[in-house]
């Protein structure tokens, strides 16, 4: 009998722990930092690139098949409205949890005048550079978000991972066309995309073989590039508030939703989704994690392709609970640090603007920080205050991305259940090494 192999998530965790240890070790040597940056970090970048590379082909192949499999346009619109409704509910709940916590902990009042001035001085210029990108966002009209979803050229849209919603729009239209034409004409097209989808899933299996090494490289680079521990201490109460909120989302809110509405237990849910969570943490990007999220939700949580192929890519682009919670906490924190009180009316404004800003945030590292400007301006706080939280943003970004990805998986499971498309997982946990064993 063959011995049981280590499950994928353990291998990834091992890669992460070794990566952190290696980063610390290298910091002990004068040449260590540049060694990691020159010889280790690029492997992490290559790993992320391979994941991103597969995202657009995956969306196209699986969503065309998913929409066509629904066989009925009314089912599609039912799934669409439910998905958007649940996305909004989870995001608003996240903002509310963030606001309650930040009011209880009040981290902004703990920051001293000195630390505030120091942080503003050290990070002010970096923030100014970033803010230039936001100016364009602020000039948007009310319907521009909708206009942006409809591409004028599908090849142009598919050439950038930032245009995922545009690709999704085209693919849904294509799928609808496919439902409406005679079966004998549609079947070969369907079969083609089914084949492409299989190939793409196989490629993801192959990429995941490299995941433990990829996260090793990413985390060792993060360690050598991280700011001094002093900054972390100064912002400890703020970081604690964000992390507590994110932990509540990940460990209480989502598994409870899943348990109550589908009966799936805690262990199955986490074992199924863990590799995607670990990748989200290591890459800080829901978009880069998307291929793995889709594969895990489908094969390990048992949600059918019709649902995952729609809910996961849309979720990766618009559903960011971790980001919205963080934006709420950060907005109040910055305001408190400047000595202002945030009124109840302003807190309600935050619920609205943080929800919208998280929808507008791209699924890439640091996007949530940029969109925070919009939340700050809505309550009249100087956006330059972002300098206060700049230094500690990356570790928090890693954690909020885990919440974002877990939320997409949760909503996929809920929608799957509500449409009768949640079955037993296709891959059992002991099968986890299917790709390794062939």
What is the number of other CB atoms lying within 10 angstroms of the CB of residue 211?
Answer: 21
Q: Which is nearer to ligand ASP, 262 or 410 (CB)?
A: 410
Binding status of residue 363 toward ligand ASP by CB under 6 A:
yes
Which span sits near ligand ASP by CB under 6 A: 2-10, 166-174, 262-270, 283-291?
283-291
Determine which helix (DSSP H) or strand (DSSP E) holds 30, and give its type and residue range: none
Nearest residue to ligand ASP by CB is 368
Of residues 158 and 320, the one with the C-beta less far from ligand ASP: 320
Does 365 participate in binding ligand ASP (rule CB under 6 A)?
yes
Site string for ligand ASP, 5-24 (x = CB under 6 A): --------------------
Position 397 contacts ligand ASP (CB under 6 A):
yes
> Which stretch, 161-169, 189-197, 396-404, 424-432, contacts ligand ASP (CB under 6 A)?
396-404
How far, rounded to the nearest angstrom, does the alpha carbon of residue 104 sit from its chain's CA centroid? 27
Q: How far apart are CA 160 and CA 383, in angstroms?
A: 29
Nearer to ligand ASP, 90 or 284 (CB): 284
Residue 285 near ligand ASP by CB under 6 A? yes
Q: By the 8 A CB rule, do 218 and 282 touch?
A: yes
Residues in contact with ligand ASP, shown as a per-residue x/- string from 310 to 329 under the rule CB under 6 A: ----------x--x------
Q: Is there binding between residue 400 and ligand ASP (CB under 6 A)?
A: yes
Residue 90 or residue 323: which is nearer to ligand ASP going by CB?
323
Half-sphere exposure of 224 (CA within 13 A, CB side): 25
DSSP class per residue in 253-317: IHHHHHHHHH---HHHHHHHHHHHHHHHHHH--HHHHHHHHHHHHHHTT-B-HHHHHHHHHHHHH
**Shortest Å distance, C-beta 393 to ligand ASP:** 8
6: helix, strand or coil:
coil
- If phi over 0 gives left and psi between -120 and 50 gives alpha, with beta otherwise, what is residue 284? left
Please, which residue, 197 or 324, has the CB nearer to ligand ASP?
Answer: 324
Residue 312 CB, shortest distance to ligand ASP, in Å, is 13
Q: Which of 324, 335, 342, 371 is nearest to 94 (CA)?
A: 324
Single out the residue of 4, 28, 36, 50 nearest to residue 283, CA to CA: 50
Binding-site member from 332, 364, 409, 411 for ligand ASP (CB under 6 A):
364
Q: Which is nearer to ligand ASP, 241 or 286 (CB)?
A: 286
Q: Are 77 and 191 in contact (CB under 8 A)?
A: no
Which one, 226 or 418, has the nearer CB to ligand ASP? 226
Inter-residue contact 389 to 274 (CB < 8 Å): no
Residues that bind ligand ASP (CB under 6 A): 284-286, 320, 323, 361, 363-368, 397, 400-401, 404
């Amino acid at each position: 009998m063959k011995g049981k192999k280590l499950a994928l998530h353990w291998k990834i965790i091992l890669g992460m722990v070794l990566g952190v240890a290696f980063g610390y070790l290298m910091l002990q040597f004068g040449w260590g930092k540049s060694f990691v940056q020159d010889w280790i970090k690029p492997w992490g970048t290559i790993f992320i690139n391979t994941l991103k590379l597969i995202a657009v082909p995956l969306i196209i192949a699986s969503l065309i098949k998913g929409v066509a499999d629904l066989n009925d346009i009314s089912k599609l619109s039912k799934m669409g409205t439910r998905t958007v409704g649940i996305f909004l509910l989870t995001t608003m709940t996240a903002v509310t949890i963030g606001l309650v916590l930040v009011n209880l902990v009040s981290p902004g009042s703990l920051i001293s005048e000195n630390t505030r001035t120091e942080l503003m001085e050290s990070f002010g210029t970096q923030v100014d550079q970033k803010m230039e990108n936001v100016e364009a966002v602020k000039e948007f009209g009310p319907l521009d978000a909708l206009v942006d979803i409809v591409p004028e050229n599908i090849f142009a849209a598919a050439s950038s991972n930032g245009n995922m919603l545009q690709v999704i729009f085209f693919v849904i239209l294509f799928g609808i066309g496919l439902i409406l034409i005679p079966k004998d004409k549609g079947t070969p097209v369907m079969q083609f995309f089914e084949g492409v989808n299989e190939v793409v899933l196989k490629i993801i299996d192959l990429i995941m073989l490299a995941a433990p090494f990829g996260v090793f490289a990413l985390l060792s680079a993060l360690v050598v590039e991280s700011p001094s521990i002093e900054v972390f201490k100064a912002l400890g109460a703020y970081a604690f508030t964000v992390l507590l909120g994110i932990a509540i989302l990940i460990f209480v809110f989502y598994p409870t939703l899943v348990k109550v509405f589908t009966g799936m237990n805690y262990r199955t849910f986490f074992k199924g989704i863990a590799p995607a969570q670990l990748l989200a943490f290591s890459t800080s990007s829901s978009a880069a994690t998307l291929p793995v999220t889709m594969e895990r939700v489908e094969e390990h949580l048992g949600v059918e392709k019709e649902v995952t192929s729609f809910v996961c890519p849309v979720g990766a682009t618009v559903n960011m609970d971790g980001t919205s919670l963080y934006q709420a906490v950060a907005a109040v924190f910055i305001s408190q640090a400047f000595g202002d009180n945030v009124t109840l009316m302003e807190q309600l404004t935050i619920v609205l603007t943080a929800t919208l800003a998280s929808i507008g945030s791209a699924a890439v590292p640091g996007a949530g920080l940029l969109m925070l400007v919009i939340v700050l301006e809505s309550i009249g706080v100087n956006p330059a205050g972002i300098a206060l939280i700049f230094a500690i943003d990356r570790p928090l970004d890693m954690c909020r991305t885990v919440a974002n990805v877990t939320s997409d998986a949760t909503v996929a499971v809920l929608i799957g259940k509500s449409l009768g498309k949640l079955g037993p997982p296709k891959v059992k946990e002991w099968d986890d090494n299917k790709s390794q064993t062939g």
